[in-house]
Amino acid sequence: MTVRREPATPVLTVEDLSITFTQRGAAPTRAVDRVSFEIGAGEVVGLVGESGCGKSVTALAVMGLLADRNVEIGGRIAYAGTELLGLPRKRMRDLRGADLAMIFQDPLSALNPVVPVGRQITEMLSRHRGLRGRDADAEAVQLLGRVGIPDPERRLKEYPHQMSGGMRQRAMIAMAVSCGPRLLIADEPTTALDVTIQAQVLELLKDLVETEGTALLMITHDLGVVAGLCDRVNVLYAGRVVEAAPRHELFGNPVHPYTTGLLRSIPRMDGDRGVPLNPIRGSVNDLVAWADGCAFAPRCDRYELECLAGTPAVTELPGVDHEHRCVNPPGTPAVVR
């Protein structure tokens, strides 16, 4: 197993990112807790986890899109060496769209319903590339064509609701890549789509990364998508990375009980049908505060009292660039409950 890591500065470095929501009248909630990862050019890094584990918040923090009020962000986010946290608003605006771009989950709500799709693309071209009028239109047509939208000239004048889901997502992608960003964040780009369309969109993203060398942060809860696309995978649980490894390493040798649990609980197309699934107990809401121990402990088969002895430290598996946060990983004999 080779670890593909560029020696040069990664496009994105996230170090010890913590995000806390402080709402008036409620206890502060830490949505993301000391998350670190890097993405190099042409690399695809996955962020997987169930709903509410902090994936989107992380992405928004990178984009500088979290509201200023009621949010505390700690740690470090660097884009090609530029510190993003604390960057003047104006500078951040210049970066957004031009260097950092994002694709959102639901393309219908993410597109302005009352502005033609073409306009939503050209406004970006004119903002970052100074293209106007006919030039911008021509460029937009070209972009739409590139993401595989048939008859792009006509589509330019259409509104999002006049397009199908897959088409909208393509338009979103066309918009995101229009200014040649070096980092693309895709937040569940296919969750709202049908599988056949999902396949088309994933193919498109893959193609982009390969031809443009764009760094892609892929956020999804679908392990299948991760397995097909990501070079490196970070598994999140309750705001922390519980396991991070290159793709083959992670699927081949999952360590954290959460990761293994996920893998065992989903029916697979190629699996054995007769065997009952092996679900994780409880639900995401049954969790322990990280400060008190492993948040996953209540749902864990390998739970030991030891698991509650404070935040589990990061353990690195030697030689394979594989980290995890399990106190009681498989290999050590599990205590029968």
Partner 1 sequence: MVRYVVTRLLQLIPTLFGLSVLLFIWVRALPGGPDTALLPENATAADRERLRQDLGLNDPIWVQYAAFLARLAQLDFGHTLRGRAVSTELAERFPATIELAFVAMLIAVVVGIPLGYLAARNRGRFLDVSAVGGSLIGICTPVFFLAFILKEIFAVRLGWLPSSSRLTPGTSYTDITGLRVVDGIITGEFHVAWDAVVHLILPALALASIPLAVVTRMTRASVMETLGEDFVRTAESKGLTARVIQFRHVLRNAMLPVVTAIGLLTGALLAGAVLTESVFAFGGIGSFLFQATQSRDYAAIMGTVLLIATVFVVVNLVVDLLYTVLDPRVTVDR
Partner 2 sequence: MNLPGTATKAAKIDRLAELSVSSSDVRGRSLWLEAFSRLRRSPMAIVGAVIVSAFVIVAVAAPLLAPHDPTAQLWRGDVFPNRSIFVGPRAENPLGLDHAGRDLLSRMLVGARQSLMVGVVATLIGLSVGALIGGVSGAAAGMGRRLGRAVDSVLMRFVDMLLSIPALLIAISVAALLGPSLTTLMIAVGAAQVPIFARLLRGSMLAQSRSDFVTASIALGVRRPKVVVSHVLPNSLGPVLVQGTLTLATAIIEAAALSYLGLGSPDISRPEWGGMLADAQRFLGSAPHMALFPAVAIIITALGFTLLGEAMREALDPKLKK
Partner 3 sequence: MSLLEVRDLKVHFPIRKGILLRRIVGYVQAVDGVSLSVDRGQTYGLVGESGCGKSTVGRAILRLNDITAGEVRLDGTDLAGLSTGAMRRQRHRLQMIFQDPMGSLDPRQNIESILGEGLAAHGMGGSRRERRKTLIDALDAVGLSANALARYPHEFSGGQRQRIGIARALVLQPDVIICDEPVSALDVSVQAQVLNLLEEIQEQTGVAYVVIAHDLAVVRHISDTVGVMYLGHIMEEAAADDLYAEPLHPYTKALMSAIPVPDPEVEAQRERILLTGDLPSPANPPAGCRFSSRCPWAQSTRCHDEIPALIEVRPGHRVACHWVEEIESGEIRPHEVEAEMVPASEIGVEIPTVEPPAVP
User: SS3 letters for 250-302?
Assistant: HHHCCCCHHHHHHHHHCCCCCCCCCCCCCCCCCCCCCCCCHHHCCCCHHHCCC
Residue 243's DSSP bridge partners are 235, 324
Give the range of 30-38, 49-57, 252-260, 280-288 binding Mg ion by CB under 5 A.
49-57
Binding of residue 29 to ligand ATP (CB under 6 A): yes
Q: How many CB atoms lie within 10 A of CB 274?
A: 5
Binding of residue 112 to partner 1 (CB under 8 A): yes
Q: How many CB atoms lie within 10 A of CB 236?
A: 25
293 binds, among partner 1, partner 2, Mg ion, none (CB under 5 to 8 A by kind): partner 2
Q: Pick from 35, 47, 53, 95: which binds partner 1 (CB under 8 A)?
A: 95
Question: Smallest gap, in angstroms, from Cβ of residue 335 to partner 2?
Answer: 9
Give the range of 8-16, 55-63, 123-131, 249-257 binding ligand ATP by CB under 6 A.
55-63
Binding of residue 57 to ligand ATP (CB under 6 A): yes
74 versus 224: smaller Cβ distance to partner 3: 224
DSSP 106-140: -HHHHS-TTS-HHHHHHHHHHHHS---HHHHHHHH
Q: Pick from 5, 34, 76, 93: which binds partner 1 (CB under 8 A)?
A: 93
Hey, which residues between 221 and 250 contact ligand ATP (CB under 6 A)? Answer: 221
45 versus 84: smaller Cβ distance to partner 3: 45
94 versus 106: smaller Cβ distance to Mg ion: 106
Please tell me whether residue 10 adopts helix, strand or coil conformation.
Answer: coil
DSSP state of 330: B
Q: Contact, 187 vs 104, CB < 8 A?
A: yes
Give the whole-angstrom CA distance, residue 43 versus residue 10: 9
55 binds, among ligand ATP, partner 1, partner 2, none (CB under 5 to 8 A by kind): ligand ATP
47 versus 131: smaller Cβ distance to Mg ion: 47
Residues that bind ligand ATP (CB under 6 A): 21, 23, 29, 31, 49, 51-57, 221
